[in-house]
């Protein structure tokens, strides 16, 4: 019993990073909409000049399956999944609230007052053709300093625009931490250790990834433009909203016993604990066929855009 208690001890909270210039490499498989999109003519320089759907790499070999210990009843809490008795991971991608009063933070703005205010002011008064209405953040989000806290809740819009630094803080404020890359991949592969949550090979539509449209192409005519536009995650493609609610893609579940972790491939990229910055799994328009092994390492922890989210471990 003492050995089991030691094996289930809590891990350290980590939040590090250093500022630097941020760029992405071209994706190995460009998103279908990005291939044919013409540049947008404008006298005004774009707000963002980097492509988040680039630099997708498979991990160097899948982690070997670890020995599965019997799950310890109740140790993870109702919002997390027990990964073989070794660690706990959030069942869903994070939705964020402010730490002090538990008010919902808009999923369409960065979870920091200065960044939210900048984006709101930059895009107020702009209306690309067929664009959704600009979402309105709650007034307090533009006026008050606040701390984000990560929540794991079904059926809600997960928060994009999350930097690696704020992802670590949001997890710490929830009494959790960022997952290591190895933990994240282990959880994604499920207890059968498969490359995709649902099986051994890619199946179109099983997870919310490699979608038919890129939101920046839809709004701005160019997949490399304006990646902080708060409307991007409100865009729909031919088969419906590009960003889906947590748990909505039912087949995209990584099974652990009678429980499951949802949306680890697609929906949003998810930050993990890497000193130089890394997010895994791909977002809805990322043209990747790598499943649980999809990995982007071109961005430091300060980076964020509409496609970056988080889930926590403990």
Question: What's the distance, Cα to Cα, between the start and end of the chain in Å?
Answer: 20
pLDDT at 8 over 80: no
Q: Parallel, antiparallel, or unpaired: how do β-strands 269-271 and 308-309 relate? A: parallel
pLDDT at 207 over 70: yes
Architecture in CATH of 27-314: Alpha-Beta Complex (3.90)
Task: Report residue 74's pLDDT band, with 50, 70 and 90 as the boundaries.
Answer: confident
Cα–Cα distance measured from residue 250 to residue 156, given in angstroms and rounded to the nearest whole number:
14
- Asked whether the beta carbons of 150 and 310 are under 8 A apart, the reply is yes
Maximum Cα interatomic distance, the chain, rounded to a whole number of Å: 68
What does the pLDDT average to over 187-198?
A: 98
Q: Parallel, antiparallel, or unpaired: how do β-strands 240-241 and 236-237 relate? A: antiparallel
User: pLDDT digits over 241-257, tens only?
Assistant: 999 999 999 999 999 99
Reduced to 3 states (helix: H, G, I; strand: E, B; else coil), residue 137 is coil
Q: What is the pLDDT of residue 73?
A: 52
* Residue linked to tokens 């070997």: 64
- Asked whether the beta carbons of 311 and 265 are under 8 A apart, the reply is no
User: pLDDT digits over 136-153, tens only?
Assistant: 999 999 999 999 999 999
- Asked whether the beta carbons of 34 and 214 are under 8 A apart, the reply is yes
Q: Which DSSP state fits 266? A: B
- Asked whether the beta carbons of 189 and 285 are under 8 A apart, the reply is no
Quote the tokens at residue 105: 């933070």
Quote the tokens at residue 278: 């890394």
Task: Report residue 130's pLDDT band, with 50, 70 and 90 as the boundaries.
Answer: confident
Q: What is the pLDDT of residue 141?
A: 98
- Asked whether the beta carbons of 82 and 72 are under 8 A apart, the reply is yes
Instruction: Tell me which of 58 and 35 has the higher pLDDT.
Output: 58
User: pLDDT digits over 250-288, tens only?
Assistant: 999 999 999 999 999 999 999 999 999 999 999 999 999
What does the pLDDT average to over 65-79?
A: 64
pLDDT at 12 over 60: no
Q: What percent of the chain has pLDDT over 70?
A: 77
- Supply the pTM of this predicted model: 0.79
User: pLDDT digits over 158-172, tens only?
Assistant: 999 999 999 999 999
* CA-to-CA dists, residue 243 to 74, 142, 165, angstroms: 31, 24, 23
What does the pLDDT average to over 155-184?
A: 98
Mean pLDDT (the chain) is: 84
Q: What is the pLDDT of residue 75?
A: 87
Q: What is the pLDDT of residue 283?
A: 98
Range among 7-16, 60-69, 73-82 with highest mean pLDDT value: 73-82
Give the number of other CB atoms < 10 A from CB of residue 31: 24
Q: What percent of the chain has pLDDT over 90?
A: 75
- Asked whether the beta carbons of 165 and 112 are under 8 A apart, the reply is no
Give the DSSP per-residue string, 67-129.
Answer: PPPPP-TTSS-TTEEEETTTEEEESS-EEEEETTT-PBPPTTS-SSHHHHHHHHHHHTT---T
pLDDT at 19 over 80: no
User: pLDDT digits over 21-33, tens only?
Assistant: 333 333 433 344 3
* CA-to-CA dists, residue 206 to 62, 85, 210, 231, angstroms: 21, 27, 11, 25
Question: Per mean pLDDT, which range of 54-68, 124-138, 287-301 is the poorest?
Answer: 54-68
Cα–Cα distance measured from residue 59 to residue 23, given in angstroms and rounded to the nearest whole number:
20
């Amino acid at each position: 019993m003492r050995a089991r208690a030691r094996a289930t001890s809590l891990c350290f909270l980590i939040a590090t990073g250093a500022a630097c210039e941020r760029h992405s490499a071209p994706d190995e498989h460009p998103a279908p909409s990005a291939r044919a999109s013409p540049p947008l003519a404008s006298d005004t320089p774009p707000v963002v000049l980097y492509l988040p759907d680039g630099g997708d790499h498979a991990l160097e070999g899948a982690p070997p399956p670890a020995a599965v210990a019997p799950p310890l009843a109740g140790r993870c809490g109702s919002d997390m999944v027990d990964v073989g008795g070794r660690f706990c991971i959030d069942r869903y991608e994070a939705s964020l609230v402010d730490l002090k009063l538990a008010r919902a933070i808009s999923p369409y703005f960065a979870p920091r007052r200065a960044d939210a205010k900048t984006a709101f002011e930059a895009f107020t008064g702009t209306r690309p053709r067929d664009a959704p209405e600009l979402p309105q953040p709650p007034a307090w989000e533009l006026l008050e300093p606040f701390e984000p806290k990560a929540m794991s809740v079904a059926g809600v819009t997960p928060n994009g625009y999350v930097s690696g630094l704020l992802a670590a803080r949001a997890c710490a404020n929830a009494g959790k931490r960022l997952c290591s890359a190895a933990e994240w991949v282990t959880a994604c592969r499920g207890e059968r250790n498969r490359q995709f949550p649902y099986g051994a090979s890619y199946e179109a539509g099983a997870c919310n990834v490699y979608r038919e449209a890129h939101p920046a192409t839809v709004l701005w005519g160019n997949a490399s433009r304006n990646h902080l536009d708060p409307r991007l995650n409100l865009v729909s493609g031919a088969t419906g909203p590009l960003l889906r609610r947590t748990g909505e893609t039912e087949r995209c579940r990584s099974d652990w016993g009678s429980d499951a972790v949802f949306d680890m491939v697609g929906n949003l990229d998810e930050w993990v604990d890497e000193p130089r910055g890394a997010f895994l799994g791909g977002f809805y328009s990322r043209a990747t066929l790598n499943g649980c092994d999809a990995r982007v390492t071109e961005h430091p922890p300060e980076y964020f855009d509409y496609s970056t989210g988080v889930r926590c471990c403990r």
